[in-house]
């Protein structure tokens, strides 16, 4: 069985390695590239640091990393938490796999009114900031990276699409970019015959809107549960 991964190359590489061990053939054809913004991290004392993507730590300045590494860090998932630990963060708490659950975890762990630092990127959903500010927290957000659409897709992987069986999707934003690029390249028909397996209902929204007929959604928003759908 041949699988398609369109997430940024660094994340896709780790996932592809897992899938190859399981016996699948994998086409890694990213629709976006992660680019550091260079935006400065605000100074100040924060009760906790929040992150929803490992890209936050891959693009965090070394000086800021050292400054923040002893502050409690709350991550959405274990993959993000592992990259954070590997980069030097000392107190890493893993959440339940979604921005909504991260908000609940923070509300349960800290009194309202404290200052929090959110290491994030663009695009993103406003779930974390809106939820915590509504609960009375002061949230300072810094966009450390952006997911930049590639200029041409599928490029060198075009011939590979003809016999891909399943596409795995990890974010709504990347699916939106994929559909746009595929339409411009005239390869939407290839996507229509694939099964599309999505990390969550939200990820699947653009696929449903575009009329993709074969869509599956993971029981929980984790890579393990998504792979289990295959």
Compute mean pLDDT per 10 residues along the chain, 230 residues long, and list them. Answer: 94 92 96 95 95 94 95 91 93 84 93 97 92 97 95 92 96 94 96 96 96 95 92
- The CA distance from 104 to 146, in Å, is 26
Give the DSSP per-residue string, 139-205.
Answer: EEEEEEEEEEEPSSSSGGGGGGGGG--EEEE--HHHHHHHHHHHHHHT-HHHHHHSEEEESSHHHHH
pLDDT at 220: 86
C-alpha gyration radius of the chain:
18
The structural architecture, per CATH, of the domain 35-148 is 3-Layer(aba) Sandwich (3.40)
Q: Where in the chain are the domains?
A: 2-31+150-228, 35-148
The class that CATH gives domain 2-31+150-228 is: alpha beta
The pLDDT of residue 168 is 98
Number of C-beta neighbours around residue 37 at 10 A: 13
Quick check: do 2-31+150-228 and 35-148 share a fold?
yes
* Structure confidence at residue 1 (pLDDT): 96
CB 25 within 8 A of CB 47: no
Structure confidence at residue 125 (pLDDT): 86
Residue 77 confidence (pLDDT): 82
**pLDDT at site 149:** 94
Residue written as tokens 């397996």?
197
């Amino acid at each position: 069985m041949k699988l398609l991964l369109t997430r940024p190359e660094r994340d896709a590489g780790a996932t592809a390695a897992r899938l190859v061990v399981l016996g699948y053939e994998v086409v890694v054809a990213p629709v976006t590239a992660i680019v550091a913004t260079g935006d400065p991290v605000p100074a100040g004392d924060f009760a906790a640091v929040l992150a929803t993507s490992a890209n936050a730590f891959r693009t965090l300045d070394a000086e800021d990393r050292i400054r923040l590494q002893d502050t409690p860090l709350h991550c959405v998932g274990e993959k993000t938490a592992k990259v954070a630990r590997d980069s030097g963060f000392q107190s890493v708490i893993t959440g339940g796999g979604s921005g909504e659950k991260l908000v609940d975890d923070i509300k349960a762990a800290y009194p309202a009114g404290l200052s929090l630092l959110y290491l994030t990127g663009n695009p993103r959903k406003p779930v974390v900031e809106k939820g915590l500010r509504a609960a009375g927290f002061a949230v300072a957000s810094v966009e450390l990276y952006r997911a930049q659409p590639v200029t041409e897709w599928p490029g060198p992987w075009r011939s590979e699409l003809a016999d891909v069986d399943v596409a795995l999707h990890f974010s709504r934003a990347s699916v939106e970019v994929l559909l746009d690029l595929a339409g411009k390249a005239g390869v939407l028909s290839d996507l229509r015959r694939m099964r599309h397996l999505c990390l969550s209902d939200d990820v699947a929204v653009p696929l449903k809107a575009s009329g993709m007929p074969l869509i599956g959604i993971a029981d929980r928003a984790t890579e393990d549960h998504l792979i289990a759908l295959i």
